[in-house]
Copies of this chain bind each other. A is one copy, B any other.
Amino acid sequence: MEVKTVIKERSENAEKVDTNKNIVYRTDNLNLWYGKDQALKNIDLDIYENEVTAIIGPSGCGKSTYIKTLNRMVELIPIVKTSGKILYRGKNIFDKSYRVEELRTQVGMVFQKPNPFPKSIYENVAYGPKIHGIRDKKIIDEVVERSLRGAAIWDEVKDRLKENAYGLSGGQQQRLCIARCLAIEPDVILMDEPTSALDPISTLKIEELVQELKQKYSIVIVTHNMQQAARISDRTAFFLNGEVVEYTNTNKLFSNPSDKRTEDYITGRFG
């Protein structure tokens, strides 16, 4: 109940554009500390279904920290402490009873550096279904193919599924990681600078892919490339020193930022 009222209140304050969309993630007064250093300060942020949400900001502003909080990966660092709430589909992920494995099954993640497992291409994609107890070889075969197709890499690898994933180029590896993530059919995909280590052509491919994926998934993407954010996202959050300076419709943010700092940043005054 409490949750619902909060949602209503907020929706009224928020931009009126998308109130009819479903909220996937609601971040509510989130604070995060690495030991004594506060990396996130009073974050309030709603993420909507079937949208691409971009997070931009200079290095060290907390982008990665935030996105890793969404699937609680940030907890792998023992000194991390949080306060506040993150509601995923209405349930607080910080609740004791919330099983983090379940959360992470629903919320996939793609990292800055492609990080395939040192296994075959096939095994990389099959990994998710397998750990979730799917044994049926037929189903797995199908999942692998469908995921690789979904990540627009099937044609390039279909003849060498048994080869080691490290034989692929960086861009292919990154798409493989996306495929791996698609294999368990998540609800949300988090991407942390997925193209920053890639060449222009691979970057383009992944940008296209993101556009396609948003039909079925909700996507949160961190990027330091403002043009990229402008090109592919529906909504953009600008982070600075652990705070959300501005969060709004992408077009609006880039054409008519309401905060001076946003303007300075997008015009390349710093960062």
Contact = CB atoms under 8 A, between A and B. Distances in A.
Interface in A187-203: 196-201, 203
A225 B59 contact: no
A270 B269 CA distance: 20
A268 interface: yes
A200 B268 contact: no
A196 B270 CA distance: 11
B268 A225 contact: yes
A59 B271 contact: no
Contacts of A200: 58, 270-271
A97 interface: no
Interface string A202-217: 0110000000000000
Contact of A227 (B196, B201, B230, B268): B268
Nearest to A198: B59
A14 to B, nearest CB: 28
Copies in the complex: 2
A100 interface: no
A173 to B, nearest CB: 14
Nearest to A201: B270
Main secondary structure of the interface of A (DSSP, over half): loop
A168 to B, nearest CB: 15
A268 B226 contact: yes
Contacts of A227: 267-269
Nearest to A268: B227
Which of the listed residues A197, A227, A268, A270 has the most CB atoms from chain B within 10 Å of its own CB? A270
Given A60-B199, A203-B270, A227-B267, 14 more contacts: A58-B199, A59-B196, A59-B197, A59-B198, A59-B199, A200-B270, A200-B271, A201-B270, A203-B271, A204-B270, A225-B271, A227-B269, A228-B268, A230-B268
